[in-house]
Amino acid sequence: MKRTPAFISLLLLIFSLGCASQERQSQRGFAMPAGDAEAGRQAFEQLQCTGCHLVDGLEDSLPRPTAVPQVDVKLGGLAMREPTDGELLTSIINPSHRIAPAGERERVLSGSGSRMANLNDIMTVQQLIDLVSFLHERYRTAEES
Q: List strand residue ranges (DSSP E) for the chain, in order.
A: 53-55, 73-75, 77-79, 109-110, 113-114, 139-141
Per-residue pLDDT, averaged over 129-138, amounts to 96
Per-residue pLDDT, averaged over 32-57, amounts to 94
Number of structural domains found in the chain: 1
pLDDT of residue 11: 41
Does the global pTM surpass 0.85? no
pLDDT of residue 19: 43
pLDDT of residue 108: 58
The reply to whether 67 falls in a domain is yes
The reply to whether 1 falls in a domain is no
Q: Which residues form the domain of 105?
A: 26-141
CATH number at residue 102: 1.10.760.10
Higher-pLDDT residue of 34 and 69 is 34
User: What's the pLDDT tens digit per position in 6-19?
Assistant: 544 444 444 444 44
The reply to whether 119 falls in a domain is yes
pLDDT of residue 112: 63
Of residues 81, 112, 119, 80, the one with CA closest to residue 96: 112
Q: Is the pLDDT of residue 24 over 80?
A: no
The reply to whether 35 falls in a domain is yes
DSSP-derived secondary structure for 26-38: -STT--PPP--HH
User: What's the pLDDT tens digit per position in 60-93?
Assistant: 999 999 888 887 778 999 988 888 898 899 889 9
The reply to whether 51 falls in a domain is yes
Distance separating alpha carbons of residues 82 and 116, to the nearest angstrom: 22
The reply to whether 121 falls in a domain is yes
pLDDT of residue 67: 87
The reply to whether 6 falls in a domain is no
DSSP-derived secondary structure for 116-127: S---TTTS-HHH
The reply to whether 5 falls in a domain is no
